[in-house]
Structure 1
Amino acid sequence: MPQYPNRQFLDFEKPIKELYEQIDQAKKLAEKNPKIDYNSNIEQLEALILAKRKEITDNLTPWQRVQLSRHPDRPYTLKYIDKMTTDFVELYGDRNVKDDKAMVGGFASLDGETIMFIGQQKGTNTKQRQLRNFGMANPEGYRKALRLMRLAEKFNKPIVTLIDTPGAFPGMEAEERGQSEAIARNIYEMFRLKVPVICIIIGEGASGGALGIGVGDRVFMLENSWYTVISPENCSSILWRSWDYKETAAEQLKLTSDYMSEFGLVDGVISEPVGGAHWDYDLAAATLKDTIKKSLAELKKVSAEKRISQRIAKFEKMGNFEEVKA
């Protein structure tokens, strides 16, 4: 995990950066004056950092939480797989067009149990972001995901999907290759999978790009993730013809994990390290791993037929509507 000064700070994290700068100054003074003990000062500043991280995340606006979900230091799918599992074997290609680098997946061992992990992957630098298409999968990405799900079903292995995308890629070539059909096919097929399926939004969960790997027996969100039909920027662009109202859009979309839990659209919210998952990769992965293991233990007690029935009923109940008789 990156340490200051290599760490990147969002605007509302600047008070934390200032405390780190004070620690740096104290360490430099300690080197110049070895007879003076600065350890107590440094310990006090470290305690203040922890308190400030908690204070900031306890009072985030919806837009700030969206920003936190996009934090450049936030762990992505492959980082979680690396921290949680062993013997990960990545599988490639949709056996039709090509391998989509925005969608990754493969078998891995989670404390001795083989699981199929699938998720969107963003890049950690400019070159990687371009290679991964910023986590926006093309149709071949969703078809690769479906191929891997069927492979897992063939060998009776559970599936875990890690969702982190600003949306499916909206380019003309994606539409020409059947973007909407690929997502719709995944949704349809995921309802019918006979193996346990757990879906977790680890960052951004936007629109059909998230739903394409988002149908499962259990759907969870990390504390600082978001899940909605459209990003705040695009919502602002449609309603106000400008991105200037993205903060208002984020507020009105009620896209944060607490709202999603309240609306019954997710089964639970997974807590993150104080300040966000980017502060402690190991702890974030350990918490995620515990949730996966607990959920799998519960789902294995239920027959495949009953799981499918419950999965369908779960999504049928979503949403509020009122029938008006003519």
Structure 2
Amino acid sequence: MTQYLDFEKQLADLEGKAEELRAMAERDDDVDEQARALDQKAKQRLQTLYKNLTPWQKCQVARHPDRPHCRDYVRDLFTEYTPLAGDRNFADDHAVMGGLARLDGRAVVIIGHEKGNDTKSRLEHNFGMARPEGYRKAIRLMDLADRFGLPVITLIDTPGAYPGKGAEERGQSEAIARSTQRCLRLGVPMVSVIVGEGGSGGAVAFATANRVAMLEHSVYSVISPEGCASILWKDAEKMREAAEALRLTAQDLKRLGVIDRIIAEPVGGAQRDGRAAVAAVGEALTDLLGGFAGMDPAAIRAERRQKFVAMGAKGLAA
């Protein structure tokens, strides 16, 4: 059953009426024709709606529970996936999954946030909010990739790092910083894709990569619109204004040079056709990884460093 967002109310009414008419169509050919007309109208409405999404609406789309999650990408894009668990220090963080796999026959290390797709799994995966042991697990996997010369692929979908007391006691900020540092020091290609939410340092710790891509309706920001509104306006209801100011859409970030590629989504968002969205991400990953053929570790590190130095210089100039 389709889950509609707040701004999709008119679309929901149209598709609902078309469904009711189709149920009556066996007894009346005229009704079937009316249903087809409503289907066409709903399709046009969907196209118009998703061509003109506001930043806040894109936030809602990025958080849609029916969007493909990390497990879906791993299942459909990778073969011979072998999960690796634990940080060899404290515990295994189920908000972060990762391991060894093959993409189009090429051995890679895959790391990603997993939110879960129902109440039970969301609680198990802590809604994709990693604790320190999740970042330390990622560092362990990046060490493994560097040792064996395997490219690293990360899939980001998190509202941010878990802000709980226990996480802070176990060194949350230090773990995020070390994960970011490990990304920068990798001597193998690293490609990151923001497939939903890219929230705060919890996302940057996995996305300090040679190439960063975003799905068309995903978002990437230093803070959530609600958090920003609470700090600046002391009112979380100002999230629409905050979303505008944060420049968190893929289109804004591509223009600012923060990301390298926008991956087109099916009309109506990845939640309407998950398989097509997953396939588009797979094509982008293959293409982006192909750009590093023949580069040695020193060149890969230097290119990644220059990418972020240039990004900072561009920001200061603006």
The two structures have a TM-score, normalised by structure 2, of 0.95
Pick aligned residue for 1:305 from 282, 298, 303:
298
- In the other structure, the counterpart of 1:10 is 5
- In the other structure, the counterpart of 1:113 is 106
**CA offsets, 1:263-315, max 9 Å, x none?**
10111111111111111111101111111001111112322211110100101
Instruction: Give the superposition deviation at 1:37.
Output: 6.5
- What does 1:240-251 align with in structure 2 at a 5 Å threshold? 240-251=233-244
Q: Which runs of 5+ in 2 are unaligned?
A: none
Helix, strand or coil at the partner of 1:168: coil
User: Are 1:294 and 2:316 matched, yes or no?
Assistant: no
- What does 1:117-266 align with in structure 2 at a 5 Å threshold? 117-266=110-259
- In the other structure, the counterpart of 2:77 is 84
**CA offsets, 1:47-99, max 9 Å, x none?**
33332221111111111110110011111111122222223222111111111
Matched residue count: 315
Helix, strand or coil at the partner of 1:88: strand
- In the other structure, the counterpart of 2:53 is 60
Look up the equivalent residue of 1:23 and give its one-letter code. A
Instruction: Give the superposition deviation at 1:121.
Output: 0.7
- Point out the more displaced range, 253-262 or 146-155: 146-155
Distance in 1 separating the partners of 2:2 and 2:162: 29
Answer yes or no: is the 8 Å Cα contact 1:57–1:275 preserved in 2. yes
- In the other structure, the counterpart of 1:24 is 19
Instruction: Give the superposition deviation at 1:197.
Output: 0.5
Look up the equivalent residue of 1:28 and give its one-letter code. A
Look up the equivalent residue of 2:52 and give its one-letter code. N
Distance in 1 separating the partners of 2:8 and 2:191: 32
Look up the equivalent residue of 1:131 and give its one-letter code. E
Look up the equivalent residue of 1:293 and give its one-letter code. T
**CA offsets, 1:239-259, max 9 Å, x none?**
111211111111111111111
Helix, strand or coil at the partner of 2:191: strand
The verdict on how the C-alpha distance between 1:40 and 1:115 changes in structure 2, with shifts beyond 3 A counting, is farther
The verdict on how the C-alpha distance between 1:140 and 1:26 changes in structure 2, with shifts beyond 3 A counting, is same
Q: Which runs of 5+ in 1 are unaligned?
A: 1-5
Distance in 2 separating the partners of 1:163 and 1:36: 48
- In the other structure, the counterpart of 2:273 is 280
Answer yes or no: is the 8 Å Cα contact 1:196–1:300 preserved in 2. no
**CA offsets, 1:181-210, max 9 Å, x none?**
111111111111111100111111111100
Answer yes or no: is the 8 Å Cα contact 2:156–2:196 preserved in 1. yes
Helix, strand or coil at the partner of 1:93: coil
Alignment RMSD (CA, Å): 1.5
The verdict on how the C-alpha distance between 1:294 and 1:177 changes in structure 2, with shifts beyond 3 A counting, is same
Answer yes or no: is the 8 Å Cα contact 2:142–2:182 preserved in 1. no
Distance in 1 separating the partners of 2:125 and 2:57: 25
Instruction: Give the superposition deviation at 1:38.
Output: 5.2
Helix, strand or coil at the partner of 1:106: strand
Look up the equivalent residue of 1:102 and give its one-letter code. A
Instruction: Give the superposition deviation at 1:39.
Output: 4.8
- Point out the more displaced range, 148-157 or 289-298: 148-157
The verdict on how the C-alpha distance between 1:51 and 1:84 changes in structure 2, with shifts beyond 3 A counting, is farther
- Point out the more displaced range, 225-234 or 50-59: 50-59
More helix per residue: 1 or 2? 2
Answer yes or no: is the 8 Å Cα contact 2:68–2:278 preserved in 1. no
